[in-house]
Amino acid sequence: MAKQKRETFNDFGLGEKSSSVGYRALNKDGSFNIEKINIPFFERLNFFHSLVTMKWSHFFLFVLLVYLVVNIIFASIYSFIGVEKLTGTKGISALDQFMEAFFFSAQTITTLGYGRIAPLGLSANIVAAIESLLGLLFFALATGLLYGRFSKPISKIKYSEKAVIAPYLKINGFMFRIVNPQRNQLLDVEINVSVSMKRKGTNLRNFHILQLEREKVRFFPSLWTVVHPINDKSPLFGLSEADYFKKDFEFIAMLKAFDESSGQMVYSRSSYKPNEIEWGQKFIYAAKRSKGKTFIDVSKINETSKVVLN
């Protein structure tokens, strides 16, 4: 019984009670149409994760802001101690002196240390010694963050914009295509496709895992047409295009692979709604051979041609 359950219900934690017609659990880009609210601040907070995943523009702005603020703080400390404790400072007005302290601070925290301005006496020297230590730790952290940002495994797997219902052997199949447009090699690629549908007369949704022609490939150097044969065991068996809309189908594809270049697992997901499924179309073969080499035309991933269904 447990086994049967797992095949017909698999809610991925998406919850069964979410179901007005037209609802989409998974967006096209693989993000979830779900938001968590009322999370206590400290449980939600993950400093490293935020800094690694925020946009580049935000990240640089954040670094610049921290740099500015920290230098203002230290400039204030040097001003408080007395700018005369920094040899070589020029400027008579208070603002000029503060700016000299500010630039001295910047030269210290980056360990630049031109030396035109240099600390003199105990207090200024102690502050400068601490600031330079802080600077090194600060940039050590920046190094880690930049490495984290760049090395995080990103799968840019591309899904065909539309899925099709096309002939497969003596029956029909639900098919879509995927390609890895990058040069990195994906290995041990596993794909899993489910369909979620409105339960008749209720507000609930059922989930079914779809049997695939092939669920795993060892390499993935070219285009892969993922096929679910619509045989008599398929939850799609005997259904018309109108039924797909009536049951408000959502096809959810999930891919998992080992990325040889980063040495890490990458995940990818996408979904298809009934209006993104073309009936009686098949995908066009996108490979050609020339001089003993195979060329895959990635731009043809979405190209289909008309076909008569079985």
Q: Within positions 264 to 303, which residues make up the interface with a second copy, using CB under 8 A?
A: 264-265, 267, 269, 285, 287, 289, 292-300
CA–CA gap between residue 214 and residue 90 (Å, rounded): 75
Say how many CA atoms lie within 13 Å of 149 toward its Cβ: 17
Question: Is there a contact between 222 and 178 (Cβ–Cβ < 8 Å)?
Answer: no
Stretch that binds a second copy, among 1-9, 77-85, 240-248, 272-280 (CB under 8 A): 1-9
Q: Pick the closer one to a second copy by CB: 69 or 298.
A: 298
310: number of CA atoms within 13 Å, CB side?
Answer: 13
Residues 51-90, one symbol each (x = binds a second copy by CB under 8 A, - = not), give: -xx---------xx--x---x---------------x--x
By CB under 8 A, residue 217 contacts a second copy = yes
Closer residue to a second copy in complex, CB, 139/245: 139
Q: Which stretch binds a second copy (CB under 8 A): 77-85, 213-221, 240-248, 271-279?
A: 213-221
Rule CB under 8 A: which of 9-48 touch a second copy? 10-15, 17-18, 20, 22-25, 32-40, 43-44, 46-48
Report, in Å, the least distance between residue 39 CB and a second copy.
5
d(CA 295, CA 79): 67
d(CA 254, CA 191): 6
**11, 152, 176, 193: CA torsion to nearest 10:** -20
How big is the site for a second copy, counted in residues (CB under 8 A)? 125
Structure tokens at 38: 């009322």
x-marked contacts with a second copy along 105-124 as a string, rule CB under 8 A: -xxx-xxxxxxx-xxx-x--
Rg, Å, the chain Cα set: 29
Residue 198 neighbours by CB under 8 Å, 6+ apart: 19, 21, 204, 205, 247, 248
Positions in 179-208 near a second copy (CB under 8 A) = 179, 181-185, 187-189, 192
Taking alpha carbons only, the member of 121, 104, 122 closest to residue 113 is 104
128 vs 125: CA distance, rounded Å: 5
CB of 281 to a second copy, least distance (A): 20
Question: Is 156 strand, coil or helix?
Answer: coil
Nearer to a second copy, 254 or 307 (CB): 254
**Interface stretch with a second copy, choices 75-83, 103-111, 159-167, 274-282 (CB under 8 A):** 103-111
Q: Is the alpha carbon torsion for 308, 296, 193, 303 positive or negative?
A: negative
Stretch that binds a second copy, among 74-82, 151-159, 241-249, 274-282 (CB under 8 A): 151-159
* Closer residue to a second copy (CB): 38 or 57: 38
The H or E element spanning position 41 is helix 41-44
Beta bridge partners of 283: 304
Residue 303 C-beta: closest distance to a second copy, Å? 11
| Residue among 221 and 279 whose Cβ is closer to a second copy | 221
